[in-house]
Structure 1
Amino acid sequence: MDFIIFIAAMSALIYGADFIIKESERIALHFNISHFVIGATLIAFGTSLPEMAASMMASSAGKSDMAVANVVGSVIFNITLVLGLVFLITKKMSPKRNLFAQDSAWVIIPVVLFFIMIQDGIISRFDGFLYLLVMVSYLIFLFNDSKEDLEGGIDEELTKEGFNWNKTIVLLTIGFILTIGGANFVIESGTNIARDFGISEWIIGIFLIALGTSLPELVVSLVAIKKGNAEMSIGNIIGSNVANFSMVIGGASLINPLIIDLVSTKFDIFIMAAASLTLVFILANKLYNKAGAIFLLAILALFIQNSM
């Protein structure tokens, strides 16, 4: 029964996030916000809503391992699985934007802060506040940088529809209910599954929950490929990972300080850092091809093999 609840709750998370993403896009289009800002904020942060809901629920339930593992796993899957598949499937990607010069710092800064914060085995409320400042800084950077308009990050069907505040508010409300409610059941059923099989909450968080909550990023990226705008996937993943650290860990640690067992989790944290550094290497050398995919998928294979 717990497996059925887990799958249903994960579906609610994903569908809820989809409602919120589309209605946020609709609001942005109504107020004439640029495509770049919409793609890098509303879409990227919207796809991180499942992670945020799941980790906050885990934190409020005193499940620090699950809250942190969700973020660590999501960052790993976002980079290695999502971008690995993007680079593998895409025939040619030539971004006009200098991704290394403009965006690579936002890949590294949250990870470096994470390593500094966990040295005492706990992410405190003060650490969470610092992460929220990172989020503010990132938003300022995006809006200052918004003169460069990246096309293709928006659902073009929305531009053909009239704007209706009542409809948007109702759908946003449904989206938040599905996301938050789904997160609650994901945590409860995930915990029960872990107990039944003697699996640690960290493993449940880093695989079942993290992989499930990374599905919105995967779906958005595959849609971007279909529309011929695969380079938007990179911006989406960078923005999502910034949101994962700042909004998800930051928000969860404000609810309850997050305690981390550095001994049992060191390999997964190392893989997260390795995936982030590999992404920077790919951006620096513009390996938006099968070579870049091989690097990322090899890290994913190592991560899965060690965790089984």
Structure 2
Amino acid sequence: MLLNIIYLLAGFIILVYGANLLVDGGAALAHRLKVPNIVIGLTVVAFGTSTPELVVNIISSIEGSSALALGNVLGSNIFNIMAILGVTALFVPIGIKRSTTWIEIPLAVLAAVLILILANGEPAGIITRAEGFCLLCFFAVFIAYTLFIAQRGGQETEEVNIKPYSLKKSALFILLGLAGLVGGGRLLVDGAVSLAQMAGISERIIGLTIISIGTSLPELATSLIAARKKNADIAIGNVVGSNIFNTFLILGASAGISPLKVTTDSVTDLWVNIGVSVLLFIFVFTGKGRQINRWEGALFLTLYITYLTLLIVS
């Protein structure tokens, strides 16, 4: 038991550190190759924050742990909205841009609904490889649209901090980052599966709680830093963007590798995912202006604690 917990902790640390190295090296290399900063921010950096979830899900799918893979995506989406936005809104109300209100948040809601539709299609209870590739196509369209809008100046982006590494150092960081992601992801998945088996806990619960929370910690840190700097609007952009990445890219890649089984219990999680996404959209309009207020943040946190409690008790 203790060894599995050590594997989990070591996996988390190596995974996050590897993702940071990959982002730093990739951003520096892209800058050396004259790629515009706005493109780097919307691709290299955005991908970097989702690589922990992606690597964990790829390894889980290869090893046949579909419950862990699905639980990680759904748990991450739920944690992002209820916990990250909840905590951030307690620090400072979160202002929401028009494009986020009418494009990104509705797209996140549609993505959540789409998972439920796919899970109840033919064959029922399975997200097939073909459906996985379909999700990846949606992701490609989303990235193309985002880049198009950004390059036309229709979307503001967070300032990208690019370190002036040499080509050799950039390449080294990329390789070390990839190695860290693979090694950390392997430790994390193996530790989680073994811990679930020894403790008699389902892989679904492990994915919805320990794994999803751990892989979402970078987004939590980014959002809290943004709130402290009075840039809380960045937080909701990170959260909604991460949820879209999780659904289209990570779930799509997972199903593309190996079809994902959706159990009856997982259907409940799908509805929770839809519910919190819809609630986020509603909260945008319940206060003055387009923002998430402190009381709404407190409600999000209360709902998340209740959800976790019900998971553990059940």
- TM norm structure 2: 0.89
1:193 CA drift (Å):
0.6
Mapping for residues 133-172 of structure 1, pairs under 5 Å: 133-146=137-150, 147-148=153-154, 150=156, 152-155=158-161, 158=162, 161-172=163-174
Closer/same/farther in 2, CA of residues 10 and 89 from structure 1, 3 Å limit: same
Residue 277 (str. 1) matches residue 283 (str. 2): no
Aligned to 1:100: 101
Closer/same/farther in 2, CA of residues 102 and 284 from structure 1, 3 Å limit: farther
Aligned residues: 301
Q: What is the one-letter code of the residue matched to 1:154?
A: V
Residue 304 (str. 1) matches residue 305 (str. 2): no
Q: Please, what is the CA RMSD of the aligned residues?
A: 1.9
1:97 CA drift (Å):
4.5
CA distance in structure 1 between the partners assigned to 2:173 and 2:298 by the alignment: 40
Q: Is the 8 A contact 1:45 1:239 kept in 2?
A: no
Aligned to 1:129: 133
1:305 CA drift (Å):
1.7
Q: Is the 8 A contact 2:25 2:165 kept in 1?
A: no
Closer/same/farther in 2, CA of residues 106 and 22 from structure 1, 3 Å limit: farther
Q: Is the 8 A contact 1:38 1:153 kept in 2?
A: no
1:29 CA drift (Å):
4.8
CA distance in structure 1 between the partners assigned to 2:97 and 2:23 by the alignment: 25
1:201 CA drift (Å):
0.9
CA distance in structure 2 between the partners assigned to 1:40 and 1:296 by the alignment: 28
Runs of at least 5 residues in structure 2 that lack an aligned partner in the other structure: none
Out of 188, 196, 199, the residue aligned to residue 190 of structure 2 is 188
1:241 CA drift (Å):
1.0
Mapping for residues 1-308 of structure 1, pairs under 5 Å: 1-27=3-29, 29-30=31-32, 31=34, 33-35=36-38, 37-90=39-92, 92-95=93-96, 97-119=98-120, 120-146=124-150, 147-148=153-154, 150=156, 152-155=158-161, 158=162, 161-261=163-263, 263-285=264-286, 286-308=290-312
Answer with 246-255 or 38-47: which moved more: 38-47
The SS at the match of 1:62 is coil
Closer/same/farther in 2, CA of residues 44 and 82 from structure 1, 3 Å limit: farther
Q: What is the one-letter code of the residue matched to 1:135?
A: F
CA distance in structure 2 between the partners assigned to 1:44 and 1:197 by the alignment: 35
Runs of at least 5 residues in structure 1 that lack an aligned partner in the other structure: none
CA-to-aligned-CA distance 1:159-187 (integer Å, 9 cap, x gap): xx434221111111111111121111111
Q: What is the one-letter code of the residue matched to 1:193?
A: L
